[in-house]
Chain A
Amino acid sequence: METPRGHKHPLSQVIAEINSIFAEIGFTFAEGPERELVAFNFDALNVPKDHPSRDMQDTFYLADKPDVVMRTHTSPVQVRHMKSHTPPIKMICPGKVFRNEATDATHEAQFFQIEGLMIDTDVSLGHMKGVLEYFFSRFFGGEVQVRFRPSFFPFVEPGVEVDMMIAPSPDNKLSGRWIEIMGAGMVHPNVLEASGIDSTKYQGFAFGMGMDRLAVLKYGIDDIRLMYNGDLRFTNQF
């Protein structure tokens, strides 16, 4: 028997596609540590200690290190990136994140997120809508519309939930209906300031979503735990 070609994990494929699409419109791919300081994971992101907004994310802490967590989102990468760059900024940060939650077919305690950030003097929710429609259209194929609903995330103001709809198409089960896909908003001035950016001069949007969910939607995966158990009966379908 000849050696069949091996298979790329669907999340690697998703990361590569995301990077490729965002690179076309000038977004760089940034990374940061998975084990993160509370200062970057929460404080700089306008999530104060003892505030109910910290409960929105169940957190793994490190033994004997109360100031260190497993990052609950890739937002600290945004903070680190803003600290080391000056606007205009266009970046995405895919990466692994951790939540101390019971696991089931749609929840894992460790999963991948993709966040994005665009900062300049005049960036608005209109720019975000354009960027997201561009991305989803390229990623899912077909023409994708997005819509916003009011929401709250401590690191943005205004904050929105984003739904997307793929233009109706008979061979696409996802098409023709609104799908809740991500949280987003205009970066909170406290976050800009904590990241060394003058909030009186600059503004911009940030968004974040589960990459697992993108893979689930794109490939019809029925249990996200399959992505993390190394079972080749799964991986070798890709």
Chain B
Amino acid sequence: MKFSYNWLGSLLEKPLPPAVELGDLITFHSAEIEELIDVAGDTVLDVKVLPDKSAWLMSHLGMAKEIAVITKNTLKTDPFSNPVTIPTDERIKVSLNSVTCDFYSAALITGVKVGPSPDWLKDRLVALGQRSINNIVDATNYVMFELGQPLHAFDADKLSHADGRHHIVVRDAKPGEKITTLTGEEYTLNPSDALIVDGGNDIPVGIAGVKGGAVAAVDAGTTNILLESAHFDRFAVRKTAKILKLQTDASKRYENGICRAIAPIALTRVIELILEVAGGVTEVITSVGDVSVERQPVTVTLNEINSLLGVSLTMSDVEDILSRFAYTYTTAGGSVTVTPPFERDDLVIAEDVVEEIGRIYGLGHIVSIPPTVGAVAEINVRHYYSEKIRETLMALGFSEVYTSSFRAKDVVKLENALATDKGYLRSSLVENLREVRTANIPHRDLLGLQAVKIFEIGTVFGVESEEFRVGVAVQTGTSYKAKVDDPLLEEVLTALATVLGVTPELISKAEGIAEFSLDALLPQLPAVTAYEPQAQLPKITYRPFSLYPAVSRDIAMWVPEAVTTQSVEEILAAEAGPLCVRLTHVDTFSKDGKTSLAFRLVFQSFDKTLTDEEVQGYMDTLYKTVANQGWEAR
């Protein structure tokens, strides 16, 4: 949520630390600051408020309280210091006919003058990225950002009022019932959605806890308003917001469990603000439902605090922090019992209090305790043998790939796939390996490979079962050729049988791809008592590769017998130009006192696809070099 630095400062007695410093204090003691944004005359702190604190920290008051505790400041006034009760006044009839609503308060204000908000109010909303609409709507939004309580204003004259009384009903939607929201979108509702309905004509005027309807919207001609400050069930609102894909500032606060005791306080506050910015007279205030909240005391021992955090606080340190929170607490023999304030739903178990104390004290005080060296209780056999298999395959030139667990079509279907070609779980590694093998064929020269040789060790899924498999794939030419490729695959299977001492039973072997179950193999393998030592690899830094095609050219020449392959390679490399990304010696034979040497060069640019002419230019340079050396190109 976005917080205005000026607004926060206005709620506290003493000045705030500078914004950057305040941001750090909040990050290290409360919640992560995602961004500090400079806006005209103010700084906005964008704070990632996580679910445990969302019931009370999604308001300037909540954040100001945190700042007061962290920086030893004091709130000017705490609107939550005393619960407010509003008696029922039958001049506005409220019927709560849905379990989604347990408290509804309303007020009728007549004679308001709708118009633009005063600058101070506009500035605060605009700083938070909100659009200023008019003084009435702005006032309801302002109080929501101030206290956390969603509010709504209806045009009272657009609601029916038989015998001079308005009638507000909260009821569940009828299947297929429709509503058009304030911003003009139409939604079709389900019985799990609760509605605010005009009791006079049963027409929906709002989606409970989510958004107001267009029917009774406040506009420039409005003179009488009916204000709503209610409490709706968090799970019901969450469900509605999810199903309708309509998450609003209001729904976010309800679904995070804002305390219902705030609703009457916020109604009182918004009335006061509307009278200030739009004038008018409060005719009726009423409420229906229960607003009482009872928080259970939580006891935690000093020992638990120190033992969980790894710190050594004294009881007086703990009491100092609790009194900064202004919590009601008692101490007795090394333990403290805290009664949370009504708006805090997140202090339920001892560990919750430990967190409060730890974060205010400062997690930076935690001292590391170095681990003790000791043997593992169990060896992971699958990891042990996976490593053995990797080593064996790598020694034969096979490289490891990780491929997607998803396929376009297979046995086990996902309910909510990301894309139609990822709708199923793979039941085998074979098809993925086939695709990856094909995709790598064009890169053989670039990578200096004669054949694409790959393997994967990964999970596959049956209807109920799930197992680790090993898949191996090989292909030398542009298509699979049994005569060339099968021996390479056989070589792998033989090597595995030798290393493991057991011949893996293949699930499939066709067209240069073989697969077997690692899980089925493991029970047949010797027991393991220790891991092999882990080889230290040289430091590797990945280098991005060009996405443009590589072009291969061969060059062959006769050189005198005394000339070494290496010296020729060096001369060619020096002249091949910066776009030659690989130079490989591919062939040697001798005849009549002369040696024939052949090399393959691969050219590739990071910026473009190379043309034949460009590559020929580089080759011409090389042919000239060869001629200048007195060698004979073939």
Contact = CB atoms under 8 A, between A and B. Distances in A.
B519 to A, nearest CB: 11
Contacts, number: 273
B425 A35 contact: yes
A130 B586 contact: no
A148 B309 CA distance: 11
Contacts of A220: 541-542
Contact of B374 (A13, A26, A65): A26
Contact of A230 (B256, B311, B403): B403
Contact of A152 (B51, B255, B308, B370): B51
B436 A6 contact: no
A6 B453 contact: yes
Interface in A4-36: 4-9, 11-13, 15-17, 19-20, 23-31, 33-35
B352 interface: yes
6 contacts: A1-B585, A28-B378, A90-B377, A133-B368, A150-B359, A232-B449
Contacts of B393: 6
B418 A61 contact: no
Contacts of A11: 402
A6 B368 contact: no
A238 B399 CA distance: 10
B158 interface: no
A125 B309 contact: yes
Which A-B residue pairs are the 10 nearest by beta carbons? A126-B310, A230-B436, A124-B310, A20-B534, A158-B355, A230-B401, A26-B374, A152-B50, A29-B380, A63-B413
Interface string B442-463: 0100111110111011110100
A106 interface: no
A98 B402 contact: no
Contact of B355 (A51, A63, A149, A157): A157
A109 interface: yes
B332 interface: no
Contact of B394 (A5, A63, A98): A5
B51 A56 contact: yes
A35 B466 contact: yes
Contact of A9 (B401, B412, B452): B401
Category for how many chain A residues contact B: 35 or more
A52 B255 contact: yes
A63 B414 contact: yes
A203 B349 CA distance: 14
Given A27-B376, A100-B416, A126 B358 contact: no
Interface of A: 1, 3-9, 11-13, 15-17, 19-20, 23-31, 33-35, 50-53, 56, 60-65, 70, 90, 96, 98, 100, 102-103, 109-110, 122, 124-127, 129-131, 133-134, 146-152, 154, 157-161, 186, 188-189, 203, 219-222, 227-238
A179 to B, nearest CB: 14
B367 A237 contact: no
A4 B395 CA distance: 8
Contacts of B417: 60
Contact of A130 (B307, B371, B435): B371
B399 A236 contact: yes
B414 A127 contact: no
B396 A6 contact: yes
A238 B440 CA distance: 16
A7 B396 CA distance: 10
Contacts of B102: none
The winner among A16, A24, A100, A222 for most chain B CB atoms within 10 A is: A16
The winner among A100, A146, A186, A227 for most chain B CB atoms within 10 A is: A186
A236 B382 CA distance: 24
B584 A1 contact: yes
Contact of B363 (A5, A63, A148, A219): A148
Contact of B418 (A3, A33, A109, A154): A109
Nearest to A24: B373
B233 to A, nearest CB: 10
Interface in B387-428: 387, 390, 393-406, 412-418, 422, 425
Given A1-B584, A227-B402, A231-B439, A25 B448 contact: no
Interface in B18-70: 27-32, 50-54
A3 B232 CA distance: 69
A27 B378 CA distance: 9
Contact of A61 (B352, B390, B415, B534): B415
B523 interface: no
A34 B370 contact: no
A65 to B, nearest CB: 8
Contacts of B28: 149-150
B354 interface: yes
B574 to A, nearest CB: 22
A20 B543 contact: no
Nearest to A222: B544
B31 A150 contact: yes
